Amino acid sequence: MSNSAITPPPRALVVWMALGKTLAELRANRFLANSKMRSALAILIPLSLLILLAPVLPLQAPLQTNLMAMMQPPSLEHPFGTDRMGRDIFSRTLEGVKISLKVGLSVAALALVMGMILGTLAGFFGGLMDRSVMVIVDILMAFPSLLLAIGLIAIMGTGLVPVVMAIAIADIPRFIRLQRSLVLGLRTRAYIDAARTVQASQFWLMSRHIVPNSVAPMLVAASISAANAILVEASLSFLGLGIMPPAPSLGNLIREGQLYMEQAWWISTLPGVVILLIAISFHFLSDGVRQALDPRTRK
């Protein structure tokens, strides 16, 4: 604390400092003590380990076909069975989860950072700045987010980066709104006035007082947004607009399997269950973060 107080922090570091402080706070509040957080991590940590270990596990590569073993039901060799071209669904699912997590986390990070910056500027300065940001936000929010993402993909093309961009753009307005409302509440706090009486700069007020106090609710929103992004990516891929086959995103897997639902239920169902688990665990994560950061639940 005292070291960071020697000089005003470099501008780029502000958000990271706030995040670091929040993480320290999570630790201080024994965030593992709450059950939601534990269940979220109980799903996410083994899943991440599986993804990391996938190359060294005795699994068929995700893209490798095997015409001798098509449409086989789950077995020890193929825990999730195989598809119409004899590809191993389990290793494809793990690959899909990797893509899902990439999309979820990048969207959440992008939306968080952009929402923080624009929301803080709009809320803190008000006036023309506020009005111009909010007009764009209102226009974007008038579209259902999936439709907006589809439209953006139509412009930008498919692939991982356009998908992340499209979902993030559809999500950022909500973050701007949330941050703006938080800032409006914080702006009139007496400690802001106290800093103003010594002519602290606007940047000082925002970086030292506003942002650190709005990180917590924004992190909660970010973890919900990650869950949402994963579902939207799956929906886009299902519609054939997201990650292009043969890359195995979870949406692709479900789409490929839906034609064979009657003969080979496992092709669609098991990746679907995995999506469900991930989405639930991110929602639990957001509840857990909220509980750990909310001063009202603090001891």
Partner 1 sequence: MIHQGNIPVPLLDVRNLRTEFETDSGTVRAVDDASFAIMPGERIAVVGESGSGKSAMAMSILRLLVYPGRVVGGDVLLDGTNLAQLGEKQLNALRGRTVGTVFQDPMSSLDPVMRVSKQMVAPIMRNLGMSYKDAYAEAVDWLRKVGIPDPERRITAFPFEMSGGMRQRVMIAMALSCRPKLLIADEPTTALDVTIQAQIVEIMKTLTTQANTAMLFITHDLGLVARLADKVAVMYAGRIVEFGTVAKIFGAPCHPYTQSLLRTIPSPTALHPARLPQIPGLPPDMKQGIQGCAFRERCAAATEQCGRDTPKLTDRGVNHLAACWQPEGLAGIAQEAAPRPELRRNDSPFRDRVIVEINNLNKHFISSAFLSRAKRTVVRAVNGVNLRVRQGETLGVVGESGCGKSTLARLLLGLEHPTSGEIFTEGLTQMVFQDPASSFNPKMRIRSIIEEPLIVKRKGDWASRQARVEKLIDLVGLKLNHLDRFPSQLSGGQLQRVAVARALALEPSVVVADEPTSALDVSVRAQIINLLADLKQELGVAFIFISHDLLTVRYISDRIAVMYLGEVVEYGPADLVFNSPAHPYTRALIDAVPIPDPVKEARRSSAVLQGELPSPLDEIHGCAFATRCPQANQRCRDEKPKLRQHQKSREAACHYAK
CA dihedral 269, 59, 226, 141 (to 10 degrees): -60
Shortest gap between Cβ of 1 and partner 1 (angstroms)?
A: 6
The stretch near partner 1 (CB under 8 A) out of 81-89, 160-168, 206-214, 266-274 is: 206-214
Helices within the chain (DSSP H only): 14-28, 35-53, 89-125, 127-141, 145-156, 160-187, 190-197, 202-204, 211-238, 250-258, 266-293
Tokens of 13: 């570091």
67 touching partner 1, by CB under 8 A: no
Of 92 and 290, nearer to partner 1 (C-beta) is 290
127 touching partner 1, by CB under 8 A: no
Tokens of 228: 């949402």
Q: How many CB atoms lie within 10 A of CB 17?
A: 17
Shortest gap between Cβ of 3 and partner 1 (angstroms)?
A: 9
197 touching partner 1, by CB under 8 A: yes
Count Cβ atoms within 10 A of the Cβ of residue 84 and give its class: 0-12 exposed, 13-18 middle, 19 or more buried: middle
128 touching partner 1, by CB under 8 A: no
Shortest gap between Cβ of 155 and partner 1 (angstroms)?
A: 36
Among 127, 190, 262, 296, binds partner 1 (CB under 8 A): 190
Count Cβ atoms within 10 A of the Cβ of residue 155 and give its class: 0-12 exposed, 13-18 middle, 19 or more buried: exposed
Among 209, 252, 272, 274, binds partner 1 (CB under 8 A): 209
Residues 9-28 that bind partner 1 (CB under 8 A): 21, 25
Of 92 and 208, nearer to partner 1 (C-beta) is 208
Q: What is the three-class DSSP state of 84?
A: coil
Q: Please compute, for residue 44, the number of CA atoms within 13 A of its CA located in the half-sphere on the CB side.
A: 21
Of 186 and 270, nearer to partner 1 (C-beta) is 186
Shortest gap between Cβ of 112 and partner 1 (angstroms)?
A: 18
Binding site for partner 1 (CB under 8 A): 1-2, 5-6, 8, 21, 25, 189-191, 193-201, 204, 208-209, 212-213, 295, 298-299
